[in-house]
Structure formats: C-alpha cells, structure tokens
Structure 1
C-alpha cells in the first residue's frame, strides 16, 4: 500500500486522539473513588447490621421495662386498695390479714422498683448504643456522599474530554485515504496501536529496536510506502525525526 508521507503522518495525530479516548475510558472505569465507594458501602452495610442488633437489644429492654412498669402499677393499685380497706375495717382478723398482705405487697413493690431502675439503665445504655451507631452511619454516609460527588465530577470531566477527542477524530478521519484508514483501524483493533513513530531504529508501538535486514527494509522503503513493523504489525510512520537519512 502507498500513501503520501503527509497522510501517513496524520495517522500519528489520529493515534494520539485514539490513545486519549482509550485513556479517558480506562480512567473512567477505574477511578479510585469507585473502589472507595464500594468499601464505604460495605462499611455502611456492616453498621446497618450492627444497628439492627443494637435496636433489638434496646427494644427488648423497652418491652421488659413496660412489663415491669405494668407490674408496679398493679402492685401500687393493690396497695392503695388495701390501705383503703384497712382504714374501713373493724375486724381484728381482717386487719391482720390486710397488714400482712400490705407488707408482702410493699416488699414486692420495692423489689420491682429496684428491678425497674436496673432495666431503665439498660434501656438508657441501649439507646446510647443505637445513637452511637447512628452517628457512625451518618459519618460514613456523609463521607460516601463526598466521595461520590468527587467521582461524579471527574466522570463529567472525562466525558467532556472524550467528547472533545471524538469530535477531533470525526473532523480528522475524512481527510485520510480510506484504504490507509482501514489498515490503521485493522492494526489498532489487533494491538491497540494502529500507527506509531519510527525513531532511532525503534518502533514506537511495541518499543522493539529493529536491526539487520528489518531495519534496512524500513530504511530503503520509498517514503510513499506504508511500512508495518515486522514485530507488531503497526504502521511505522517515518518522519524527519526517524533518523533514517
């Protein structure tokens, strides 16, 4: 295949654009913020599970406290009732029975109130534990939002760069001969690089230095010949920088 040196040199600009598109695409798919977001999401999920556990403990304590408060209310009501009956009773036997029952009820009341205080402390501790987990989750969520915002901003920038490069490519390719462009695209599809500068005896695509007959073939090929690297098959573009003269 033959093409003018100018058209061949245009391939270097096209390759630079395509490399830029590949680079921005790779960066967009591998932003460090994406990995950090996944890490934070895992941490938040762990906190969510711990919160469920803490809430379970708190709710159990609240249920127990409600039951004890109900028992205390029942005992207090019975004490109040017996006190009223004691004031109205004229029977010695009834008075003794009521006094005995009141003594038992007050003992029960004291025991229940002591238990109630202990359970109230458990409820308070459990609520504090839930609050601490909520604070931890809120902090992680805030950090996640910040990282996600940074990721999104970078994606916008990369998308804008990719759009610009694509526009540059669209304006450049119509000026390249179809057969030369087709060969470039074929080579690029195989190795990622379709064309590269040949300089100091080295292919810019695979970085292999040519020697002997391979180097001589490149050196002796007419400037209109489209030469491909014998190692990677990329188009090697010869310019004044190639040092072949």
Structure 2
C-alpha cells in the first residue's frame, strides 16, 4: 500500500474528458505491453532454441562419427595393402616352387615353409581386413543415420524459424497500429498530465491511471472509504486525483459512485 494521497495533492487540473482520454492511453499502453510480452514469449523462439541445441549436439556426434569413418577407411586401406603384399609374395614363391627353379632339397624345404608361413599370415591379415570392413560398415551406417537426422532437424528448424518470423510480423503489425492509436489519443493530453502518468506508470507495474467505478479503484481493486469518497465528491470535476491506496491517477467516471 502506498502513502495515502489526498485530493489536491497533485497540483494539476484537466478537463474531465481529457482525463477519460488518459484511460484510453492507459489501455493502449497495456495493449503494447501485452504485445511486447507476446513477442518475447513466442513459442517458436523456445522451440528454435531447443532445436538449435539439439542440432549442435548432433553436429558434435556427427563430427565424431565422420572422424571414425575416416580412421577406419585408412585402416581398411592399410589392411588391404598388407593382404595384397603377402598374397603377392606367396604367389611369387608358389610360382618358383612350381617352376622347378629350386635346386637343393634344403632350399625346397625352406621355400615350402615360407609359403606355409605366408599362407597363415595371409589368413590372419584377411581376418583383420574383414573385421575392419565390418566396423567400417557399421560406422558408415551410423554416420549416414546421423547425417539424415541432421538434415531432418535442419528442415524442422527452418519451419520453426519461418513460423517465428510470421508471428513476429503479425505482432509487430498490431503493435505499430497500437502505437499510432496511442499517439493520436495522447495528442490532446497536456504534457504535465502525461509526465505524471508516465511517472506513476513506471512506479506501479505499467498502470499509471485507473478508473473509479462503483467506489473502487480499478488499479488496485480496493474500495475507497466513505471519508475519502466524500473528499473526492467535494473536488472540482477537473481536479486530477490520486488513489489513496495505490497512488495511481484516479479518473472519475459516470459510474464512480460519488
């Protein structure tokens, strides 16, 4: 509750019609505040932020998957090279064996032993090659899955951003219309009264002026006591009053009850 305010405390006078116009200014300011709040809380903004965070995380996962595919591709090439080298050497030795170029029994035995060793080595390397191929196939499938999800996420994000921009455009158009109406409505209100209104509006959560209806201030929703209402009734119609409960400019209406 603010400090009690007495009629006449604010040394201002304004035509009753102008005071009623101030209520119209207040209504438009509230409308502009609501539109500003709507703009700040457009659902697509939060959804866009969520999707961007998801895309950033997915991008990191995709980069890791791509690096793994690259590493496994190099590993596969090395495994293929190793197998091919052993295969080539074994084929050369077998050709020597079959051609009868080996003269001594000792050399023949040594060559046969080397061919057997190369055969085992080739088998081991082929197992390594197969394992790398299987891991590369799995890693490539995972990379493709992440890439597809990233593409899908990008499409969703583009749709959300477009919806956000449409919402912004609609709200901005409403706000521009309200600002024009506010300018026209406030044109007939004196600078002193507007300054007082803006001061009270800043002090009281965006509501600087309120109507007195049925003995109740519509700003704080408090019913004024009979003593204060009697003081209001004794004031000239053009006196600018303040609510003794909340301090807002109090505008008398045909339904004031005084």
> Which residue of the partner structure matches residue 157 of structure 1?
170
For 1:8 and 1:2, how far apart are their aligned partners in 2? 9
**Match for residue 215 of structure 1 among 206, 215, 229:** 229
The reply on whether 1:204 has 2:215 as its aligned counterpart is no
The reply on whether 1:64 has 2:75 as its aligned counterpart is yes
**Match for residue 44 of structure 2 among 30, 33, 36:** 33
For 2:232 and 2:154, how far apart are their aligned partners in 1? 60
> Which residue of the partner structure matches residue 123 of structure 2?
110
> Which residue of the partner structure matches residue 7 of structure 2?
none
- Higher RCO (CA-CA < 8 Å; seq separation 6+): 2
> Which residue of the partner structure matches residue 84 of structure 2?
73
Q: SS of the residue aligned with 2:187?
A: helix
Stretch moving more, 233-242 or 2-11: 233-242
Deviation at 1:135, TM superposition (A): 2.1
TM-score by length of 2: 0.87
For 2:88 and 2:255, how far apart are their aligned partners in 1? 104
Gaps of 5+ in 2: 1-11
**Match for residue 58 of structure 2 among 26, 47, 53:** 47
Aligned residues: 244
Residues 54-104 of structure 1: CA deviation (Å, up to 9, x unaligned) = 233323322221211110111122122223322251414333322221121
**Match for residue 10 of structure 1 among 21, 36, 41:** 21
For 1:56 and 1:178, how far apart are their aligned partners in 2? 68
Work out whether residues 17 and 165 of structure 1, in 8 Å CA contact, stay in contact via their aligned partners in 2: yes
